[in-house]
Amino acid sequence: MGPVFQTSGTSRSRAGRPTLYERDFFLWTRQQAQLLRERGADASGLDATRLAAEIEDLGSSQQSEIENRLCVLLAHLLKWQFQPSKRSNSWRATIAEQRMRIARRLRQSPSLRSYPAEVLEEEYALARLNAVAETNMALETFPLSCPFGIDDILDPDFFPGVD
């Protein structure tokens, strides 16, 4: 079955199965951009090159959101671990929210399932700096490498230093 161009996320394939758009938005954006590039001049009236780039940017926004939420999540996990006397329901809520929103993006775009692990060290470096700024603790307080595995980071029940 070939790719289907769609204008909304509610359409279904003729067989009633969810379309690629519904199953994996990120992958759909990549596929649609490639199709536009391949058809280029055949798509009369369309600026296929720029349109393809814009569609890819839509997919890239999924990656950016995962990166931003992962950074916030990591900073809060660091604060949770290294400032136990300041733990609060607000921190717990922020940790839960970031996990839930990352999980939603990964459900919407399963092809990004490995993405959090791919950007973990880079996002951890930023989260470490944010934790320093938010706690006024020395940079050396926080480990140079991420002390948490990606499975723990995304696990709704994981809170460092809590048994």
- The pLDDT value given to residue 14: 65
- The pLDDT value given to residue 46: 66
What does the pLDDT look like over 55-70, one tens digit per residue?
Answer: 888 888 999 999 999 9
- The pLDDT value given to residue 8: 42
CA distance linking residue 43 with residue 130, whole number of Å: 47
Report whether 76 contacts 95 (CB < 8 A): yes
Q: Which residues of the chain have pLDDT under 70?
A: 1-14, 40-47, 163
Report whether 117 contacts 146 (CB < 8 A): no
> What would the DSSP string read from start to end of 56-96?
HHHHHHHHHHHHHHHHHHHHHHHHHHH-GGG--HHHHHHHH
* Amino acid of residue 23: R
Reply yes or no on domain 20-154 having CATH 1.20.1220.20: yes
Query: Closest Cα partner for 159 from 97, 85, 80?
Result: 80
Q: Where are the domains of the chain?
A: 20-154
- The pLDDT value given to residue 25: 85
